[in-house]
């Protein structure tokens, strides 16, 4: 199992979702991806992406302008 960190701070919609989707496609089942971003639309886009891919949102949190998503590849 790998733990991957993806720093997408400063990128605007739709880039955080696109880059998250591309990274998830390269992971093996059981791998975990942590995505950090600042685009407020990611709070909608990333969960919507995970509904499409079937991967699991383990945790999401918002700290000021920073959003963090912890995702497990299924």
Q: Which domain holds residue 31?
A: 3-59
Instruction: Identify whether 65 is part of a domain.
Output: no
If one counts the domains in the chain, the total is 1
Q: pLDDT grade, residue 52 (50/70/90)?
A: very high
With CA atoms as reference, report the closest residue to 47 among 28, 30, 26, 61. 61
pLDDT, position 48: 97
Instruction: Identify whether 10 is part of a domain.
Output: yes
pLDDT tens, residue by residue, 9-40: 999 999 999 999 999 999 999 999 999 999 99
Q: Model pTM? A: 0.94
pLDDT, position 29: 97
E strands along the chain, which residues?
3-8, 32-37, 56-63, 66-72
Rounded CA separation 30/42 (Å): 23
Q: pLDDT grade, residue 1 (50/70/90)?
A: confident
């Amino acid at each position: 199992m790998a733990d991957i960190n993806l720093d997408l701070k400063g990128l605007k919609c739709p880039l955080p979702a696109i880059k998250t989707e591309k990274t998830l496609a390269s992971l093996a089942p059981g791998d975990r991806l942590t995505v950090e971003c600042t685009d407020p639309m990611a709070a909608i886009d990333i969960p919507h992406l995970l509904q499409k891919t079937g991967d699991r949102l383990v945790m999401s949190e918002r700290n000021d302008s920073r959003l963090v998503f912890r995702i497990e590849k299924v």
